[in-house]
Amino acid sequence: MTLDGSAAEAGTARGTDAPSPARGRKASRRGDVRAGYAFLSPWLLGFVALTAFPMVASLYLAFTDYDLFRPPSWVGLENFVDLFHDPRFWASAKVTAIYVVVGTPIKLAAALAVAMLLNMKHRGQGAYRSIFYAPSLIGASVSIAIVWKAMFIDDGIVDRIAQFFGAEPGGWVGDPSKTMPMFVLLAVWTFGAPMVIFLAGLKQVPTELYEAAAVDGAGPVRKFFRITIPMLSPVLFFNLLLETIGAFQVFASAFIISGGTGGPADSTLFYTLYLYIKGFTQFDMGYASAMAWVLVVVVGVITAILFKTSNAWVHYSGDNR
């Protein structure tokens, strides 16, 4: 009996020392987690140093008086009060709002129209797609903004063509009533990115739906509104969200075409351009930081509204609503 007890104790001791399968799995998971964080560490360091820390710093500066040459001094809500009493702030907000409300839908409509044309079977599809997408690769660059300005200035190519058809001479750049159409045209010209996304979405629409609709006597317009739009609603929502956020951030073209002033008559004073003027021309970094955080809040609210209202018109596969 003593021997049996000793053997049992020895077996228990060996069982305690031997690694259990559950313990081995936990150790393996910990190793995977450490490896994952090791691979993520460059991005995490970049995010903290280049995004998180500057955002926190700008939030602090928004409540200070800071001109880059003296230490910031706390002023509380003074920057925000001054901001909402600034006529140029409201002018920049108006210009940006018009650009977002007018330019974004037109750009998406053009992108969808061209995507539907490219979705048809014809020769040279790849070449056409490349041609239509090419402007998006360079549309936001400084060089294109310079070319665009040269096209629309007084006696530029656009002005000459307009005069040929009987229009009065005078460029679009110096006319406050024509600057916004010029920027909208530039935005529409760079519809390549949403076009490619729309084209990918169109490829996922089952052809059987169109065939069944044709049997029922549906025409092209009815097919578009009853099949294409509902099936593309997730893609449409994605493009609308990205393009709306991007429209609020337009800067390079406004800076180049207006010469960094926002003229004439503040007709090209986009929000981000005025933010740049306050921060890097007038060196009022506290005011500029306040403007930046107002923009963050506005874009966040609009994004939340888009997500909230998407439940009424965005239809996903398997959605039984």
Based on the domain organization, do 41 and 120 belong to the same domain?
Answer: no
User: Which of residues 73 and 6 earns the better pLDDT score?
Assistant: 73
Based on the domain organization, do 52 and 89 belong to the same domain?
Answer: no
Based on the domain organization, do 86 and 115 belong to the same domain?
Answer: yes
Whether the pLDDT of residue 40 is over 60: the answer is yes
CA distance 272 to 130: 31
Based on the domain organization, do 296 and 196 belong to the same domain?
Answer: yes
Average pLDDT over residues 215-227: 90
Note down the domain range covering 119: 78-313
Q: What pLDDT digit, counting tens, does each position of 235-277 carry?
A: 999 999 999 999 999 998 999 999 889 988 999 999 999 999 9
Based on the domain organization, do 136 and 258 belong to the same domain?
Answer: yes
Residue 19 pLDDT class (50, 70, 90 cuts): low
Q: Is residue 1 part of a domain?
A: no
CA distance 154 to 134: 27
Query: What pLDDT score was predicted for residue 142?
Result: 80
CA distance 283 to 266: 20
Based on the domain organization, do 114 and 193 belong to the same domain?
Answer: yes
Q: How does the average pLDDT of the chain come out, rounded?
A: 87
Based on the domain organization, do 272 and 187 belong to the same domain?
Answer: yes
Token couple for 209: 């739906």
Q: Is residue 71 part of a domain?
A: no
Based on the domain organization, do 174 and 205 belong to the same domain?
Answer: yes
Q: What pLDDT digit, counting tens, does each position of 141-171 carry?
A: 688 888 888 899 888 898 888 888 888 878 8
Based on the domain organization, do 208 and 279 belong to the same domain?
Answer: yes
